[in-house]
Amino acid sequence: MKRVYLDNAATTPLDAAVIAEMTNVMENYFGNPSAIHALGREVRTLVEKARKTVANLLGASPSEIFFTSGGTEADNTAIRCGISAYGIKHAITSKIEHHAVEQTLNIMLKNGEIDKLSFVNIDEKGNVDYAHLEELLQQNERTFVSLMHANNELGTLTDMVKVGDICEKYNAIYHADTVQTMGHYTHNVRELKAHFIVCAAHKLHGPKGVGFLYVNSNVKIPPMIYGGAQERNMRGGTENVYGIVGLAKALEIAYAEMEQHQNQIQSLKDYLKNALIAEIPGIAFNGETDADKSLYTVLNVSFPEMDMADMLLFNLDINGICASGGSACSSGSNIGSHVLNGINADPNRPSVRFSFSKFTTKEELDYVIEKVKMVVKQNALA
C-alpha cells in the first residue's frame, strides 16, 4: 500500500548525510568524552566541534550551547532553572504552548515555586496580543516569559524580536520554545534578545533523543540534572556523542539548504491548501496560513462536520496517510487538543494537522487530496 508521511511536525526522517556522519562515529569513536586518555580526547573533540558548529550557525558563543536529551528537557531546564536562579515569582505564557512548557509552569505554580501564572491573550488564529503582554509585565515585578516561536499544532508564528524588545523593556527573562522552527528559520541570538532558545534534532532530520539549550551568557542558572561535570557542570550524564554529532550535521544542512526548502515546502503547503478549498465545500483552517504569519511546514485543516468524525485520522491511516490530529505528544488522549480548545475552535469539526518536509512531493499530495475527498464524501452528514 502506498504510504504518505505528513506528520513531520511530530518527527522527521533522518537525512542520509546525518546517518553517514553518525555511523562513522559509532564505528570509529567509542571513548568516553570525559576520559583523559587519547580515545576520550578524540571523542571530546567531536563534541566540541559540534558545539562550535551549532554556535556559529546561531551567532552564539560555544559556551552558550548546552546539549540535552531533546526539546522537553531543554524547555524544562530553561523554565525551572531560570525561575529558580532569579527568585522569580511571576510567569507569563499562553494557553496554547507545548505541554513541556504549559505543564511545567502549572506544576511550579501548584508546588509554590511561583506565586502567579498569567496567560497572555491570543486571538482565534493563535496570535499573541503584544499589548496585553506589555500590560501584564507592567503590573508585576520581574517576570519569566515563555512563548513559542511557532505553534506546533497551528503553525502560527510569534514575533520573537517584538517579544524580546518588550521583555527587555521590563527586565523580564525570555524563553522562546523554538523546537518547531529551529533549522527552518535563521535564529541569530544577538538580534533576538531571548535568554533561552531550544532545539530537538529530530524535528530537522536529525536523530531522536538529543537537542540543545542556548543560554545567554548574561544569564547564570544552576543545573537541572546533577551527577557529573559534563556540559561544563551544567548537565550530569555521559554525552550522547552520536546524537550530538548528528544534531550538528542536521542543523548545518538545514541552514545550507534553508532558502531552497522554504520555497519548496511553502509551495507544497499552498498547493494542498488551495486544492482542499476547491474540492471540499466548507473546508477551513486553524491558525494562520499566510506565508509571513505561519510556519511553512504546518497546515491545520478544519473539516466540515461529519459522521464518525473521531475516526477521520484512522480512515486516513488505513488509506496510507500519516497525519496527526494535534500535537503528537497528546496521541491517544481523549480530552482533545488543548491548543484547539485554547483558540475556541469548533469542537464539532474534526481537525487534521498535515506537516511537510523537504522529502514531501506534489505527487504525494495529489494522492492525499483524492483520498481525503473520498473519506469526507463517505462520512458526509446526510
What's the pLDDT at 157? 98
247 and 261 assigned to the same domain:
no
| Global pTM exceeds 0.75 | yes
Task: Read off the pLDDT band of 4 (50, 70, 90).
Answer: very high
Tell me the backbone φ, ψ of residue 156, rounded to 5 degrees: -60, 130
329 is catalytic: yes
282 and 342 assigned to the same domain:
yes
Supply the DSSP string of 221-273, one letter for each residue.
Answer: ---SS-SS-HHHHTS-S---HHHHHHHHHHHHHHHHTHHHHHHHHHHHHHHHH
What's the pLDDT at 331? 47
Domain that holds residue 315: 4-12+257-378
Q: What is the mean pLDDT of residues 114-136?
A: 98
Q: If you average pLDDT over every residue of the chain, what do you get?
A: 95
Q: Which residues of 148-168 are buried (b: 16+ CB within 10 A; e: fewer)?
A: bbbbbbbbbbbebeebbebbe
Helix axes of 160-169 and 130-138: crossing angle, nearest 10 degrees? 20
- Which range among 96-100, 158-162, 313-317, 328-332 shows the weakest confidence by mean pLDDT? 328-332
Q: What is the mean pLDDT of residues 271-278?
A: 98
266 and 374 assigned to the same domain:
yes
The residue annotated as part of the active site, out of 81, 199, 322, 329, is: 329
User: What is the C-alpha separation between 235 and 47, in angstroms, rounded?
Assistant: 14
306 and 351 assigned to the same domain:
yes
Task: Give the pLDDT confidence of 314-336 residue by residue, as tens digits.
Answer: 999 999 999 998 543 444 445 68
306 and 250 assigned to the same domain:
no
240 and 334 assigned to the same domain:
no
92 and 113 assigned to the same domain:
yes
Which of 345, 357, 352, 348 shows the shortest CA–CA distance to 372? 352
User: What is the C-alpha separation between 69 and 218, in angstroms, rounded?
Assistant: 24
pLDDT higher than threshold 90 for residue 38: yes
42 and 170 assigned to the same domain:
yes
User: What is the C-alpha separation between 104 and 5, in angstroms, rounded?
Assistant: 31
336 and 367 assigned to the same domain:
yes
